Structure 1
Amino acid sequence: MNNIFEWNGPFYRFLAKIVDLLLLNALFLISCLPIVTIGSALTAMYSITIKMARNEDVSIIRGYVAALQKNFKQSTIIWLILLAVGIVLYMDYYYLNQYTGNLLFLVKVSLGLFSFAYFLLFNFIFPYVARFENSVKDSIINTWKIALVHPIKTISVLMITIIPIITLWISVYSFFFLLYFCLFIGFSFFAYINTFIILHIYEGYEK
């Protein structure tokens, strides 16, 4: 029982992990303030959570800043592409409510499939950039390929993103709970959980 509370015991390691995630979450939120840097912030956050999941020694601040600088250009390009496509998707859904033509069902199916591909890419592209070095084009293509080859694990990652979004709309209490949770530790926590699944997917591609 005493071993649990030792300096290097499970309880200490658990608290250290929580502190790391709190610090990482704060760095991520600060990095996202300019909006245009959200892509590089996501990549940097996953760079750290990958090391944390592998129990590697990592300095949260120095490691995060280094990853932010290393992947800034590529991650920013990818983020701007996703942002532009996201705006187009939003406009498509807006005008879909006003469309009453004969092709309504086909339009809905096509838009749904395109939205799924977009959501898939958004969830997997930044962890991919954090782990592998490729061009923007190859990163996008490989992300889709890898995610589709592992449907069960891919769905698990997507659900970790979807469930908090659904929780926002359940009640006012759940909305504010999740809001405060994300402000303090939520983003880094969900990224950390996702990382374990994503690493299992990447194992076969790292050799």
Structure 2
Amino acid sequence: MSKIFSTEGIIYYGMERIYQILLLNVVFVISCLPLVTIGAAVASAYGTAYKMITHSEGVLYKEYLHQFKVNFVSATKMWLLIVALLVTGVWTFPYLQGYMIGNKLAYYLVMVMMAFLILMGLYLFALIARFQNTVSGTIVNAMILSLKHLPFSIIVFFVTLFGVFIVPVYLPKLLFIWLFMGFGTVIYINANIFMKIFTQYVITEEGS
């Protein structure tokens, strides 16, 4: 019984993990505030979460800053590309909508394409945080992995949907907890899933 409450016990470990997720959430939100740094913030949060999973995070906020520095260029390029594609999509949607009305084939094709892009997008910054690659290489790998590991991709999608959108919008009683732990919890859960996927493709441990 005494071991349960010791520094090596499950209660101490659980409380420490909750504190780390809370801290990860805070530094993540702060680093997202300039908006242009959102991509780097997501990649850095994943990089830090990977270290948490392997118990090699050290001082968490220092690890986060290290990850931010390492991933900033690649993640920012990817984020700006995503923003450009989103702007283009919003601009062209009224034209696509004209073709989709009354055309079930076009409608389903667009829906399938959007679903694929969303699943692929969930992998982008997680990959940047784990592997060194070009922007185009990361996109190709995200396409392949999101389809190859489709069950995991769907789980990541619903974890993200629930944690980022459903809780704050439809579960206001949990809003206070969400503000302090929402993003950190989603990233930590997803990082565990991505680690199971990426471990299969790691020959030698990355030194990032």
Same-fold status (TM-score > 0.5): yes
Match of 1:82 in 2: 82
CA distance in 1 between partners of 2:140 and 2:8 (Å): 43
Superposed, 1:6-155 pairs within 5 Å as: 6-93=6-93, 99=98, 104-155=103-154
8 Å Cα contact 2:100/2:106 also seen in 1? no
Aligned residues: 202
Aligned match for 2:194, one of 192, 198, 207 = 198
| Amino acid of the structure 2 residue aligned with 1:186 | G
Secondary structure of the equivalent of 2:3?
helix
| Change in 2 beyond 3 A, CA 1:203/1:17 | same
CA distance in 2 between partners of 1:112 and 1:67 (Å): 35
Gaps of 5+ in 1: none
RMSD: 2.1
Identity %: 30
| Amino acid of the structure 1 residue aligned with 2:179 | L
| Amino acid of the structure 2 residue aligned with 1:137 | S
TM-score by length of 2: 0.88
8 Å Cα contact 1:40/1:75 also seen in 2? yes
CA distance in 2 between partners of 1:198 and 1:111 (Å): 27
TM-score by length of 1: 0.88
CA distance in 2 between partners of 1:68 and 1:121 (Å): 22
